[in-house]
Structure 1
Amino acid sequence: MGFRTHPRDPKDVEARTPTKREVTSAVMSTFDPMGLASPVLIEGKALIQSIWRSGIDWDDVILEKDEVAWKRYMENLRMLQGLRIARCFSYCNTEGELHTFTDASEKAYACAVYWRQKTDESTYRVTLLAGKARVTPLRPVSIPRLELQAALLGTRMAQAIANELDIAVGRRTYWTDSSTVLTWIKTDPRTFKPFVAHRLAEIEESTKPQEWRWVPGSQNPADDATREAPADFDHTHRWFNGPEFLMWDESRWPKPRTFKQEPSGEEKEAYLVATARTADAQPTPDPHRFSSWVRLLRATARVLQFIELCRPRKESACVSRQLEQQDPTWRTTRAKQPRSTWKIRTPEAPTEAWLPLDPPHLKKAEKILLRSSQGESFGEKDPERHPKLRRLDVVMEDGLLRLRGRIDAAQYIDAGCKRPIVLDGKHVIARLLIKHYHEAFQHGNHATVMNEVRQRYWILGLRSIIRATAVRCQWCKVYRSTPRLPPTGDLPIERLRHGEPPFTCAAVDYFGPMTVTVGRRHEKRWGVLFTCLTTRAVHMELAASLTADSMLLALRRMAARRGMPKVIYSDNGTNFVGANKELKQAIENAREADVVSRAAQMNIKWKFIPPGAPNMGGAWERLVRSVKTALAVTLKERHPREEVLHTLLLEAEHVVNSRPLVAREESWESEALTPNHFLIGRSCGAPSIGDYRDEDLTGKKNMESGEAYGRPLLE
């Protein structure tokens, strides 16, 4: 095993500037699992890191500075062509020594493991077993940390080699030129920060502090794998044979040095914690771990209850001088007995009992939680002067901040309502409290929750917190959510004929019946609504029956005043839900018999919406509702004469045609665009003629009656 002993001549690769992909392929193609050529190959890994840091793509040529390093790396590879390494490191089965050297620099950190074996009384043989070099991370790391990384790398490699060797290892020695690392290894790892502590703990598991020794940097062979490649890298190099002092007796090795321990910045900071006991300090659970105010309150009450049970109970045992059983010598000595002594009562055996939460514990827990919330929000010292409470008149009562109002003299009002407790709405306890009120009052509206909260608490920013609580409430999300509306379709071409006169494309619909007075009898009349699909104007006609002739007469009257339509839309009768059977049958018969044929003679194209799709007739159904709303103001249960009803229909038509088609964007605009602008050139109609009273409704003058009926509508 080892790197390729006869690598190919790299002149063909040096002929041009390589790309990132080619450099990576060439560097990674070298196979050196034992790290024997680490001083040369580490430059290739550093080159890949530099190219990666430049941010170029895989097929882009490398930068000029990287090209210089690339050529130098290819030149250094030629030194490996004639390199021959003897892999036999032990000529006898006697035990030997493992010597591990570690070093680090800003470029890389490395280790080298050597086998030292005694051949005769004064001769030693040193052979390189394995080496390893790694580039430093992209993120800057201090040199002491890199030296520690190198020491950990050497520890792992020495342990792996020792486990694989069949020859007994008599001694292990680890060499480093870092005085900081030597000081760390001889110190308790728990005194350092996690980065250093974790690595020192692993080193401590495999080595002993006395196995680590210091070596000068000039005699450290691991330093060759952290610098530039040596110019004379052959089998006689120090990297393969180890430092010269390993050939000598141990007495001539580098002497241990005593280093002055100085702060390295990796030690943990020591804090002196002084505890002070206050009378108001109470243990409270972490409110962030609770999702309900009731649970937090009960948990706090249980903690208080547990503390009371853990405290030793004291009882007063009075010794009376009057009882001879307690003091038999009292009559002779007349000695005074101690008044009372305190005895700690200890139960003979532990008992188990379920103690329910009583109101005193709950009230005490609530007071502790509210006091904790105020202390965290407004501070423990002078909370009345907190900037958030600058505009509020607050007072401190029984350890709680309360808002002082002007109703202190009111009777039969709870004291908590007179002076509510002040809380910050951003605190978690206040949010849990608002959530409790929101759920307790059946997820009611904001005003209800706000009214109930302010009976006892004055929470800053209450309205916004209630709104946010309702938004986060899962119940409100489920039961108050609205379905997602489907995307609206395109308008038909008849709705977009803006260059043609009104009512060129129209729609017709019936509504009613409405009762009118004819002589002494009541008869039914139906309203016929024509709407322009382009301008959204309406035209009203009164039909005496539901026959096809009556419908066509209404169409002729509309055409005489508005012009003959080219296209007419209507439903097919199935959408008249709630209408009488006669109206449905008449519309269906009219569609099937006379209306279509006669409309064709008038050069009118009649279109019907599909059955069971009333949404397609929304263009006229919505206007029918507007007309009905306008008529409901005047008609109600009255039975006007036919002429009065006709007048009311026309006035309702005028009101509907006076509605704005678009909203006014600016307040200085005189009026909005209405359908009347397309029909009569202006929005409003003629003013009312005369002034009439409600008594005129019973008169015989139809004009006065119609005017009185229509006055509320126009108002």
Structure 2
Amino acid sequence: MASIYDPRGHISPFTIRARLLFQEACILGCSWDDRLPSELETKWQRWFAELPDLAGIKVPRCFKSMERQADTAKLTVHTFTDASAHATSAVSYVQAAYPDGFVKVSLAFAKARATPIKKVTIPKLELRGAVLGLRNSKVVSQALAIPVAEHVFWTDSLNAVYWVRSHAKNFTSDVACRVGEIQADTKASQWRHVPGVLNPADFPSRGMKVLDLVGRHTWWCRPDFLTRPEAEWPLVELATPPQLPGELKKKPCMTFASQVTPSRLDPATYSTWERLTRVTAWCLRFVQNARRQTATVTRGETHVDTANTSAPLVYVRLASGHKPRSVVTVPVLTAAEVAGAERHWFAQAQLSVYPATLKRLRAGEELPPSDPLYRLNAVLDAMLHPALMVVNGQLKHAVNLPVGVRQPVILPQRHRVTTLLIQREDDLCCHGVGTQHLLSNLRQRFWIVHEAFLLAFSRFIKRRGTPSIMVSDNGTNFTAAERELREASEAIDRTQVSRKFAHEGIEWRFNPP
């Protein structure tokens, strides 16, 4: 191999085969005086037999057109890189573009290296090929006085392009070091993607016979697209980054073991929805301000903010000697804060009744038929914070309807949060509407999970009127319906004595089985 003089790598697709054979001999543990295994010896003999064919290779030395004025040509270096399981390679071409539109492209420099004996993934080998291409370009740049900033780099690896266009600190150390070397001398816009069938660096990365190399126009002259306008060059945009979780730097995650204590906010201790949500909103504001480390002190109807007058408030006592900076009026709760408190309790209600369903949805799993929310086609609405389970029915396509109607928030029936919501809605309606109107208003935003019979019975009384006594057997769905109606009626009657809704109750009588 040392007897072959090829400083510019013109025949690197041929010489790389010898390097790979030498590496194979080293892997087998052959010493200098040992006879090679018969199979490996045959490969060497075939390679040596091709040496006389090298006499048929002739390389033009001039990179510019002999028929045109030399100083009018604009020179650009195009470097192609590739990698396989056997070798990494890089090849540089000099493109001479003339004012009349004529373009000449010539092979300038090429190099190929055998891959390490240690197993390396193909994406990482492609990145090593990109580094090899950068170093080759520096050699050509120094010889022809063409700045590296005016070079164009091509690779058929989307992974390599993604790495070069990303921050090096996001990746593991081996990837980050090579990406950092590339980004130190080039811009991300200089790196382009080329299809593998158009990449001339593919030849030295896989090896070729001399006779195949002699007539390979793509290797000696150029890829044909380099003679066309830049608008016709290959263009591939990265719509989504490649999935390379093993190459991303792992972020440290700290886990603390602590005893979970019940929340001091219990909806069962509040008589109205407004009081529960407002107290919760104040508590959430306190938590948010404590994280911002804002110090304020109350003075009658005003307070003093020592950090930022535009920030929300935290009420603390200042030690003596600490003078506040400014005095501002205490603001009231905003609509966004109250809405956040409401979403907090919706999430708590869903978590307390449907923990298994939430776990499946957060893991991206489909709900089994046995799940209580399977028929509702429940999904997580990531646009809400915290994410809430909503009904994913056909109404989601009705863009003319409000979002709450299209995908109402799912609430469990037997929960204090749901009871307080029903009471609040009844208060807003001035207690002068029927049950159906009340449910209709609630369904503008919520879907309260009922038994199937309740919905059928609701349609029945719309057609036939509201009965005062219902007689049926002891079917499980009927007993559940009676219990739900009774519990709902009792929940409202406790705070709404003599209201019209109490007079719409239905007595259920069950015949013995």
Q: TM-score range by the shorter chain?
A: 0.3 to 0.5
Between structure 1 and structure 2, the one with the greater Rg is: 1
Higher relative contact order (CA 8 A, sep 6+): 2
- The TM-score normalised by the length of structure 1 is 0.34
- The TM-score normalised by the length of structure 2 is 0.47
